[in-house]
Structures are given as C-alpha cells and as structure tokens.
Amino acid sequence: MRELIVAPMAGGPSTPALVEAAARAGSLGFLAAGYKTPDAVETELRQVASVAHGLNIFVPVPPPADPAPLEEYRRLLQTEADRYGVDLPPVRLDDDDHFAAKVELAVTYRVPVVSFAFGVPDAALVRALHVAGSTVLITVTNPREAQAALAAAPDALIAQAGAAGGHASTTNPHGYAGTSTAAGTLAAILAVTDLPVVAAGGVSTAEDVHELLDAGAAAVQCGTAFLLADEAGTRPAQRAAMLSGEFTETVVTRAFTGQPARGLRNRFIDDYEAAAPIGYPAVHHLTAPIRAAAAAKGDPGALNLWAGTGFRSAVAGPVAELAGRLTG
C-alpha cells in the first residue's frame, strides 16, 4: 500500500484522471462508486486499469423505521424548491446504491484495493474480493466499529477522524459528534487491532502526514487537500467558495443527506440543520434537485461544500505538486 492515499470523494471530485495522476505521483487514488450507476463505475474501472487504483463502495444503510420525519423535512424543503424552481421527489427509502453489482464489478475487474464506508460488508463478500486478489479496507470511526469490522476479516482498517471532510463512516449517526482528531482516532484503533491502519481526517500538511506515519499509521489518506487539484472533478462553485475566503469554518451536518458529514458552513446548514432527520440516503435524494440547481447557478448557499478542518491549506495545482507538498 502507498503511504499517501488520495481519498475517494463521491459526487464528482474523484475522477479517473485524479486516480491516474495520483498513481503517477507515487500515491494511491480511489474511484468513488457512490451515487454512480454500475455502468458508470465499470467505465471508470476500465479507464484506470493500467495504474494502481482503489474503489470505494458504500455499504447500504437500513432505512428509517418511521418515515414521518422525512416527510416533514420534505415539507420544509419546499421553500428551497420554490427558491430554485425545482420539484422535490417523493421520499425514497429503498436505495442500496447498487451495492451487490458494484462489489461484483470489483471482483470481476480484480480491483487492487477496495474500501468500504458506512458499515461492514458481509464476510463472504470480503472473501470473494480476496479470491479476486483485492486488498480490502473498512472505514471505521471508533474502536467499537473497528471490532465489528474485524469480524469480516479485512486486510486493513481506515481510522476516519471527525475532522474529515464529507460523510462520516459512523454506524451511529445519532451519537456522532465529529470532534475526534486523526492522531487520537489512529491511536484508539491501533489499540484494538494488529492490522495495518490508515489514518484519515483533517490531514493538510507534510508535518501532519509524517507525524501520523511515525505514530504507527500504515498510510495516510487525504481528501480535502486534493479538492482543488487540476484533475479533480470538483464543482466550480465549490472551488470558488474554498478560494474566496468567505467561508471560515466547517461543521458536521445532516441537512444535506441525513448522514453526518463535514462541510463549509453555509446558509442551507444554518437554516435546516436543526430540522434535519437522520435518514441516509433518503435525505440525499430529497435535497439533490436543490443542490443541482444551486450548482448550476454557481450559488454556494445551498451546496454541500464537503471539506475537512484543514480546508484553508488546500491549494490549486496538479496532483503531483499537491502530493509533493504532503510528502516532502
């Protein structure tokens, strides 16, 4: 495994070009299977077949037992739908993001490294990936989740701190605070396993990377540091927001997707966080048309501007240059 990993960033930033550039720079880049159709994932796997690469897959989250809070949130979001001139979809509970098909693609294409987020895949799936030659990583946020993940016999764990941008891989969204650091989470996970552990969350400088490697991390995963990479598919509105200086803090929110996720604090979070129910991916589907319309208008006020606590250190440039800044 490479010491520096370019994190999977679903929703656009992770592109085949980003993965290829990471490989050329001596790092490991991940495709993000989340939200994509199996056909789209297969096309991307073919594009990166000649370089070292990984694929990240979301483990399906059980739907909420009570859809009433989702229906109420949909009613509240009508104001935003009217603002952007879009229609809200009905509440959708039955979405597993084509999980089985994406795992099958990973097996068929013998993806070198496969990581999972949002939960623990069945041990039989992990065995199938091992037979195909894949190294399997499971993302966890605390020792309890790590111990559950060990039952599936992965090759390594990703210790995701609360400082990380984007979705938290917590299996307890009700109790997730997002206050943990990469160093603290790494130490807590290393205490319960002898497997290699990848450190992630809020890592933005070469000093951060070296400290985590010295603390026992098998590798360090960075996402926010690559959001402004030339090869990333980050939306123009997010690039502009990150460079504007107008956004001064990140917060953990459920307002956009129903799953705790860290992003730049904006109007939508301020207006809807208090009312947002837990319910991924149902909330994601409800807000999708609003976010798409805001992106088309270049309006960051209603966008999920995922970013970690180290976002101020992110700079634009080619992946090779950004990776060099983190490993130099």
Domains (range + CATH), the chain: 4-60+96-229+313-327 (3.20.20.70), 64-95+248-304 (no CATH)
Sheet holding 250-253, edge to edge: 166-167, 261-264, 250-253
How confident is the model at residue 13, as a pLDDT? 98
How confident is the model at residue 2, as a pLDDT? 81
Digit-coded pLDDT (tens) for 266-321 = 999 999 999 999 999 999 999 999 999 999 999 999 999 999 999 999 999 999 99
* Structure confidence at residue 322 as a pLDDT band (50, 70, 90): very high
87: Cβ–Cβ under 8 A, 6 or more apart, which residues? 81, 289
Q: Decide the pairing of beta strands 219-222 and 4-6.
A: parallel
Q: Decide the pairing of beta strands 135-140 and 156-160.
A: parallel
CA distance 281 to 288: 10
Enter the tokens of residue 185: 């989470």
3-state secondary structure of 192: coil
Closest to 118 (Cα-Cα) out of 260, 9, 224, 252: 260
CA distance 319 to 23: 10
Closest to 48 (Cα-Cα) out of 17, 24, 27: 17
* Polymer length in residues for the chain: 328
How confident is the model at residue 301, as a pLDDT? 97
> What integer best gives the mean pLDDT of the chain?
97
Enter the tokens of residue 170: 């917590």
What are the angstrom distances between the C-alpha of 5 and each of 132, 136, 183, 218? 22, 14, 17, 11
Vertex 305 angle, CA 66 and 44, to 5°: 90
Does residue 1 surpass a pLDDT of 90? no
26: Cβ–Cβ under 8 A, 6 or more apart, which residues? 2, 4, 323, 327
CA distance 41 to 105: 8
Residue pair 164/202 in contact (Cβ under 8 Å)? The answer is yes
Closest to 116 (Cα-Cα) out of 105, 126, 124: 126
84: Cβ–Cβ under 8 A, 6 or more apart, which residues? 289, 290, 293, 294, 297, 302
Residue pair 56/33 in contact (Cβ under 8 Å)? The answer is yes
- Dihedral sign, Cα of residue 74, residue 76, residue 81, residue 87: positive
pTM passes above 0.85: yes
3-state secondary structure of 173: helix
Digit-coded pLDDT (tens) for 242-267 = 999 999 999 999 999 999 999 999 99
Residue 257 CA, distance from chain mean position: 12
